[in-house]
Amino acid sequence: MSIGTLLTPLRVGAIQLPNRIVMAPLTRMRAGANNVPTALNAEYYAQRSSAGLIISEGTAVSAQAQGYPSSPGIYTAEQIVGWRGVTSAVHARGGRIVMQIQHNGRNSHSSLLPNGSLPVAPSPIPPNLPGFTKDFQQVPIEVPRALETEEIPVIVGTFRQAGLNAIEAGFDGVEVQGANSHLIEEFLEDGTNHRTDAYGGSKENRVRILLDIVDEIMAAIGPDRVGVRLSPFGQYGGIRDSNPLELFTFVIQELDTRRISYLHLVEAKGSEMGLTDELHEDGVNNAALFREVFNGPLLSAAAYTPQTAALAIEQNHADAIAFGRLFIANPDLVRRIKESQPLNAYDRSTFYGGGEHGYTDYKTLEEPSLTASI
Ligand SMILES: Cc1cc2nc3c(=O)[nH]c(=O)nc-3n(C[C@H](O)[C@H](O)[C@H](O)COP(=O)(O)O)c2cc1C
């Protein structure tokens, strides 16, 4: 295994990555008023611009799609302007950034939604997680409202518009959030989807919303700028399917046919949301399992070290590896990997909410001193 494997270039759709060290999408709950990104957010992303690719935090495609306090959106003119500050700062530092666009579905709370309305989902089945109010209070979760059939094409349209808005805001592409038990995965899996209309029942029906979204966005912004994140065998929020292997093989075959620019799989061996440091070594290796099914670039995430990441690429399980918690704590992760320098430890207590502390104040390596070599 050679760490140098991570430092080789890779083409991902329209984007040329100088290395295979990707920054995973990370919700940090530090957006400004009206869910608008700020200069602080721009600084945070710019600090990490040496990543082969930055995937933004999950960003709501509509007011109804919000799920966490102080999380950004991409559905107002003000938000587009705020995000332009982020993308310009990343590009000015030579980086590349795509936006993860998402609808939180049942993982939300009425205090975050227009007119205090209930979170929505395919079926009225609550997750097994507490909700976060807009004031960061943890509260018992609400039973979501099942979407009416005619509301679903409207949601598809909000994803399409979010894709267009992301490009207008200067992003290099988008990643559709189909993972981690948010709305799309709630449709995919039969534990959360008990519908009897064209969006429930057979796997073909359950995958319809995802494929409609992908088709619409690809038509709107071009086929080579759309990636998809999935978390087969994941259990976050109590999500489950009676036959995940059959379901995800089908989903991934369909995405392969469409030639999306990349597939991003969350590994079941780690904690999908990085909530614990536990490892389930006996968990399914999604990248290895689905590699045969998908012919485009494959990104894999969750619980990787630089060493296991390089190994996964050398074993041809994946083309690039996304790091979450290591990028929170190491803005210059690429340089540290390249120079085999020690990594900063992350502080879990500052993951969500707050300001600069635990966000933009993790230390980078000192530049080599000019006097040191004299
Ligand atoms: C603070 C935090 C926020 C996260 N937010 C998102 C998110 O917005 N979208 C998403 O798909 N995954 C999210 N995740 C999951 C990460 O992208 C990643 O899959 C997970 O942390 C496992 O990778 P790691 O072991 O390298 O941290 C989040 C994880 C953490 C720790």
Which CATH number fits the domain that encloses residue 255?
A: 3.20.20.70
Task: Point out the ligand 1 atom lying closest to the alpha carbon of residue 229.
Answer: 11
**pLDDT truncated to tens, each residue of the chain (374 aa)?**
899 999 999 999 999 999 999 999 999 999 999 999 999 999 999 999 999 999 999 999 999 999 999 999 999 999 999 999 999 999 999 999 999 999 999 999 999 999 999 999 999 999 998 889 999 999 989 999 999 999 999 999 999 999 999 999 999 999 999 999 999 999 999 999 999 999 999 999 999 999 999 999 999 999 999 999 999 999 999 999 999 999 999 999 999 999 999 999 999 876 666 666 766 666 789 999 999 999 999 999 999 999 999 999 999 999 999 999 999 999 999 999 999 999 999 999 999 999 999 999 999 998 664 444 33
Q: Tell whether 367 is covered by a domain.
A: no
Q: For residue 122, what are the domain limits? A: 3-350
**Cα–Cα distance between 234 and 237 in angstroms, integer?**
9
Q: Tell whether 357 is covered by a domain.
A: no
Q: Verify whether ligand 1 is closer than 6 Å to residue 101 (CB atom).
A: no
Q: Tell whether 142 is covered by a domain.
A: yes
Q: Tell whether 362 is covered by a domain.
A: no
Q: Verify whether ligand 1 is closer than 6 Å to residue 300 (CB atom).
A: no
Q: Tell whether 227 is covered by a domain.
A: yes
Of 45, 55, 180, 307, best ligand 1 pocket probe by most atoms within 8 Å of the beta carbon: 180
Structural domain total, the chain: 1
Task: Point out the ligand 1 atom lying closest to the alpha carbon of residue 303.
Answer: 25
Task: Point out the ligand 1 atom lying closest to the alpha carbon of residue 57.
Answer: 8
Q: Verify whether ligand 1 is closer than 6 Å to residue 274 (CB atom).
A: yes
Residues 6+ apart with CB under 8 A from 132: 67, 68, 69, 109, 112, 138, 139
CA 11–ligand 1 middle distance (angstroms): 23
Q: Tell whether 262 is covered by a domain.
A: yes
Of 26, 54, 107, best ligand 1 pocket probe by most atoms within 8 Å of the beta carbon: 26
CA 275–ligand 1 middle distance (angstroms): 9
CA 220–ligand 1 middle distance (angstroms): 27
Q: Tell whether 368 is covered by a domain.
A: no
Strand-pair partners of 230: 265
The pair of three-digit structure tokens given for residue 40, joined into one six-digit string: 């602080």
CA 121–ligand 1 middle distance (angstroms): 22
- Please name the residue whose Cα sits nearest to atom 22 of ligand 1: 302
Q: Tell whether 49 is covered by a domain.
A: yes
Classify strands 53-55 and 262-266 as parallel, antiparallel or unpaired: unpaired
Q: Verify whether ligand 1 is closer than 6 Å to residue 26 (CB atom).
A: yes
